[in-house]
Structure 1
Amino acid sequence: MGTAEGVLETGFAAGNRPVLAAAGLSKSFRGRRVLDGVDLALPGGCIAGITGENGSGKTTLLRVLLGDLRPDAGRVLFGGSYGHCPQVPVLNLSLTVAQHLVLFRTAYRLTSMERAESLLGRLNFASCLAQEAGTLSGGTQQKLNLTLALMHDPDVLLLDEPYQGLDHETYQVFWELAAELRDRGKTVLVVTHFVPDSTPFDVLLTLSGGRLAVVGGTR
């Protein structure tokens, strides 16, 4: 993919081309400017976080990055496949966990359930295969949500408040999975209003006044 001119650099080595880039993203609602020329460039092999107050435009930015919402100005460039884990699980409450996996296996054109089965074990809800999604707890619905986003092994993973409702053990597993993706050259972008620990992030940004700024990270 090409690179975007004038994007926000995040401190990674030169030559590591971004797999997710945005340049000059602007979006207004009813005269209120939510995004005001947002620039972003994330390479392969990183975990990035975007934080900000409620109402700062984080979910709007994520929807624009995904192509779910058209910006008033600017462009987004993706390299490779992507997975999306929304804040509110998008599940068919009448389908079982197993039926969701079959549905997404077909949608992703996967030849094997091996990765999905591994995620079920890692996230400790393999015993729920026969349960309808509507009978699952909020935390287990989020586990299914995450599994569906990861089962095709995307190059870029976009997550909106991904650890909301997760217990401590699953929270730790989430970060293990994120680190494994990063170490395999994948890109993980976490959008959240709550960052209890900044150490898992290679770069941490804040969205304020419609613009992104780097506020921390380990690289």
Structure 2
Amino acid sequence: MSTSPLTPSEPLIRAEGLSVRFGSRQVLDRVDVAVQPGKVVTLIGPNGAGKTTLVRALLGLVKPSSGSVRRRPGLRIGYMPQRLAVDPTLPLTVRRFLALWRPVTAGRMTAALEQAGVARLADQPVQSISGGEMQRVLLARALLAEPDLLVLDEPDQAVDVHGQAELYARIDAVRRASGCGVLLVSHDLHTVMARTDHVVCLNGHVCCSGHPEDVSRHPEYHSLFGGHAAELAVYLHHHDHAHADDGSLVRTTEGGCCHG
């Protein structure tokens, strides 16, 4: 497998023809994916589709059987796993928990906690915080790397709908402020379609990929998700108008705006 670096003008990370076998089982078959700076790429697919395996192969944690992974030289990656178990007997505050992985200044830790929206939890025991709060602590942990590429494996685990909206708003703010790329794994098709620049629909191989609107209309997408695909279709809000401070519509351009 080739691991040659990318040039600065190329994506942050790129996989080409990536295949992974575990014994006799083919988990991934000739997958292509790339993440550009400042863009959000989302992997969707059913359980067992190989999404986490693909992420682990991109991170160098799983050895592909064929294909190539290329990374920009000096690429800094912040990784947020699906979940992280903490021994309930360990006397760990959030601050001490974050310091376990890398030496970090107090200022940098505070900044990461603020970016994730959990600065108020810094001195709380990790065992006392909610599942949604823990996910944002894990986001802060990923941000300590000051990443060029933020890799998020189902970050909305154990997070309610309101918490998901806040979490993804935080991720979007980080992307806009730093220009980092984001590789996101999710089962939540509503969230995927609203929050991403490029979707890769995976089921051992790439079923379809492209702009969220295009993927949502693709026959392979509908075949994979069945009747749920129509129920979860993206609502595309083309912002061809302006609003007053109270939210009322004050101007439209050709095509208008559909509300309902």
TM over 0.5, shorter chain: yes
Residues 1:69 and 1:214: Cα distance change in structure 2 (over 3 Å): same
What secondary structure is seen at the aligned counterpart in 2 of 1:152? coil
What secondary structure is seen at the aligned counterpart in 1 of 2:189? coil
Give, as a single letter, the amino acid of the residue that structure 1 aligns with 2:106: M
Aligned match of 2:6: 2
Aligned match of 2:16: 23
Q: Is 2:203 the partner of 1:208?
A: yes
Q: Mark the structure with the bigger radius of gyration.
A: 2
Taking the aligned partners of 1:35 and 1:61, their CA distance within structure 2 comes to 7
What secondary structure is seen at the aligned counterpart in 1 of 2:46? coil
Question: Do the aligned partners of 1:89 and 1:142 also contact (CA within 8 Å) in 2?
Answer: no
Determine which structure has the larger strand proportion and give its number.
1
Task: Write the mapping of 1:115-134 to structure 2, written as runs, cut at 5 A.
Answer: 115-121=108-114, 123-134=116-127
Taking the aligned partners of 1:209 and 1:100, their CA distance within structure 2 comes to 35
Q: Is 2:69 the partner of 1:76?
A: yes
Q: Which of residues 156, 159, 170 in structure 1 aligns to 2:152?
A: 159
Question: Do the aligned partners of 1:46 and 1:186 also contact (CA within 8 Å) in 2?
Answer: yes
Q: Which of residues 59, 63, 81 in structure 1 aligns to 2:56?
A: 63
Taking the aligned partners of 1:82 and 1:122, their CA distance within structure 2 comes to 17
TM-score when normalising by structure 2? 0.69
Aligned match of 1:98: 95
Q: Is 2:212 the partner of 1:217?
A: yes
Residues 1:162 and 1:114: Cα distance change in structure 2 (over 3 Å): same
Residues 1:104 and 1:30: Cα distance change in structure 2 (over 3 Å): closer
Q: Which has the higher contact order (CA 8 A, sep 6+)?
A: 1
Residues 1:209 and 1:127: Cα distance change in structure 2 (over 3 Å): closer
Query: What's the offset of the Cα at 1:19?
Result: 0.6
Aligned match of 2:190: 196
Residues 1:68 and 1:91: Cα distance change in structure 2 (over 3 Å): farther
Residues 1:182 and 1:135: Cα distance change in structure 2 (over 3 Å): closer
TM-score when normalising by structure 1? 0.81
Aligned match of 1:6: none
Residues 1:100 and 1:73: Cα distance change in structure 2 (over 3 Å): same
Q: Is 2:118 the partner of 1:114?
A: no
Taking the aligned partners of 1:114 and 1:163, their CA distance within structure 2 comes to 27
What secondary structure is seen at the aligned counterpart in 2 of 1:77? strand
Residues 1:30 and 1:152: Cα distance change in structure 2 (over 3 Å): closer
Question: Do the aligned partners of 1:160 and 1:192 also contact (CA within 8 Å) in 2?
Answer: yes
Give me the identity figure in percent. Answer: 33
Aligned match of 1:170: 163
Taking the aligned partners of 1:154 and 1:126, their CA distance within structure 2 comes to 19
Please, which runs of 5 or more residues in structure 2 have no aligned partner? Answer: 215-260
Taking the aligned partners of 2:123 and 2:144, their CA distance within structure 1 comes to 18
In angstroms, what is the RMSD of aligned CA positions?
2.5
Taking the aligned partners of 1:175 and 1:209, their CA distance within structure 2 comes to 27
What secondary structure is seen at the aligned counterpart in 1 of 2:55? helix
Taking the aligned partners of 2:22 and 2:98, their CA distance within structure 1 comes to 36
Give, as a single letter, the amino acid of the residue that structure 1 aligns with 2:179: G
Query: What's the offset of the Cα at 1:128?
Result: 2.9
Taking the aligned partners of 1:166 and 1:210, their CA distance within structure 2 comes to 29
Give, as a single letter, the amino acid of the residue that structure 2 aligns with 1:196: H
Q: How many residues align?
A: 204
Query: What's the offset of the Cα at 1:16?
Result: 5.1
